[in-house]
Amino acid sequence: DIEQVVSLINECKRPFIYAGGGIGISGATEELVVFAEKINAPVSTTLMANSEFPNDHELYTGMIGIIFLYS
């Protein structure tokens, strides 16, 4: 439930956000920025979400991960 999620986030000593392509699909780019700033969490993105967080933002740590094809 939402209260438990909020409690867990508030208890985090060093929160970190790893954002994927769902951010753009759901239109939640602005909400991601606001949330990251509110909890002061660094943000990394997948390749699919690389344009969904301002790359010049002080909390942006860069893109991690790759896309690959199965053989």
Q: Could you tell me the domains of the chain?
A: 2-63 (3.40.50.1220)
Q: Please tell me whether the overall predicted TM-score, pTM, comes out greater than 0.85 for this model.
A: no
Tokens representing 60?
């942006």
Mean pLDDT score, 53-69:
87
Separation between Cα atoms, residue 53 and residue 24, nearest integer Å: 10
Query: At residue 69, does pLDDT exceed 70?
Result: no
In tens, the pLDDT along 1-51 reads: 889 999 999 999 999 999 999 999 999 999 999 999 999 999 999 988 989
CB neighbours of residue 54 within 10 Å = 13
Separation between Cα atoms, residue 9 and residue 4, nearest integer Å: 9
Query: At residue 67, does pLDDT exceed 70?
Result: no
